[in-house]
Amino acid sequence: MTISMDFLDQLGIRGDVDAIHTGNKASGSRNKGAFESYSPVDGKLIGKVFKASKSDYDSLVKLSQSAFAEWRKVPAPKRGEVVRQIGMKLREFKEPLGKLVSYEMGKSLQEGLGEVQEMIDIADFAVGLARQLYGLTMHSERPSHRMYEQWHPLGVVGIISAFNFPVAVWSWNSFIAMVCGDVSIWKPSEKTPLSAVACFNIIKDVLIANNVPEGTLAMIVGDVAEVGEPMLADERVPLVSATGSCRMGKRVAEVVGKRLGRSLLELGGNNAIILTENANLQLAAPGIVFGAVGTCGQRCTTTRRLIVHESMYDKVKEMLLKAYAGLRIGSPLDEKNHVGPLIDKGAVTMMQKALTQAKAEGGKVIFGGEVLDGFESGCYVKPAIVEAKNSMSVVQEETFAPILYLMKYSGSVDDAIHMQNDVKQGLSSAIFTDSLRQAEAFLSAAGSDCGIANVNIGTSGAEIGGAFGGEKETGGGRESGSDSWKAYMRRQTNTINYSTQLPLAQGIKFDI
């Protein structure tokens, strides 16, 4: 398949790219080397992005601090109007940006376009939110006093995103932070830096036209030593929102926590679907297969474990083998294909090691797992199904690849729920059942311990209206949706005395 690169011209991606974008212009040092972005689709070099220095980072934070001093004074509805215009720009560039996301990351074109649609949707959500940053009024115990609480912006928000959603996660954080009155500095994944650059090329004119202070929305591309660690340790950055692995999240929590800063963590998932004895398999099949192989298994909400009642096990196994045999694997820009490549050869190696470990622990690979020949990038694999036990150490860990562990349970739905919960991660979960009793047990306090729990839909594909995130080693953070805006603000309780007396709380007397 011949891939037209017209979308790169439309997005202004040509030649070597500077490491920093301040919303108004690109800049940065050029003496720290560069990240080379190779497409996992065909192995070709897309472009280079220079790495920022520690000095670049310090200068950018100072600029963003100055921007915050001005941006927080802008009325929230007017801040929302800027986000509305950004959403309109994203609509205009949805197709080329979706193609770049697909080409640079390797997800299907439909998923790439869907990721940009997420950005548009969260922009719409944030616009409405700009008029709903509410507080509460409470009755005071003291006469002629009024108590209320309000929310103020925090300041500079650091955003660290992962390669698998190279643009959407930034929008979840930055658009909400922006209407809250915050400014943000985005450190995108070094594996997908050009998608980040493209976002700023798209929105630059909107920011300039609205006189948004330079540094309100900013981006910096750099390695861990020069940018990542300094951001975590920086007291000028009161909130760091990080999306990635559990290992990375623990480091973020450690460093940010040491300075008593805030961290919003959305980390790994080891997500399971339960199929009870009365599950509708026709309904469940597409949810299972898309959940397991979509984005080539590189979603935090990917279905990694399938827990099946023993009475349905053989039928489900046969169904899965037939469905997997029909998967079309190839260029994600060809909409006829179901599965694209892994992000790089390192991910391929990681998948092969996991399969080797699964077999060593007694697992049985019943489909796939091979690295496919005939693709220049060397990043294409056949999604795997492995019969396994939940107690196996390889099953207990998240492997960011299309491996579905198939396991059975006997007894009641409580046994299946216990098996599902018996991992360290707690992001997304699902049950397929036609029993109201089983569904309610799954959703009860004694049911799924995950941040997301679905009935008769899969684990993957969350809507932006609901707060997104998970429990346990998934980090406990919530990005986007619902009242997650509170994570980007500081709460303040106010008491106003409009009397001529000064009574103290709890009836305390203090006469002078």
Alpha-carbon Rg for the chain, nearest whole angstrom, is: 24
- Strand runs labelled E in 164-245: 183-187, 217-220, 239-243
**Residue 142 DSSP one-character state:** S
Total number of residues shown for the chain:
512
Q: Are 185 and 60 in contact (CB under 8 A)?
A: yes
d(CA 270, CA 429): 9
Query: Would you tell me the crossing angle of helices 168-180 and 109-129 to the nearest 10 degrees?
Result: 10
Task: Record the tokens describing residue 336, joined without a space.
Answer: 């006829």
d(CA 276, CA 281): 10
- In 350-380, which positions are buried (b, 16+ CB within 10 angstroms) versus exposed (e)? ebbebbebbeeeebebebbbebeeebebbbb
- Helices and strands: H and E segment counts in the chain: 15, 21
Q: How many Cβ atoms sit within 10 Å of the Cβ of residue 504?
A: 9
Q: 413: which residues sit within 8 A by CB, 6+ positions away?
A: 274, 276, 431, 433, 435, 438, 441, 442
d(CA 499, CA 360): 77
Q: 80: which residues sit within 8 A by CB, 6+ positions away?
A: 126, 127, 128, 129, 130, 131, 179
Q: Which residues are catalytic?
A: 266, 300
**H/E segment holding residue 356:** helix 345-360
Cα–Cα distances in angstroms (integers) from residue 331 to residues 7, 46, 326, 400, in the given order: 16, 16, 16, 19
Q: 49: which residues sit within 8 A by CB, 6+ positions away?
A: 16, 17, 18, 19, 34, 35, 37, 193, 194, 197, 221
d(CA 389, CA 405): 8
d(CA 312, CA 303): 18
d(CA 21, CA 197): 8
d(CA 505, CA 140): 9
Cα–Cα distances in angstroms (integers) from residue 460 to residues 8, 23, 199, in the given order: 29, 33, 25
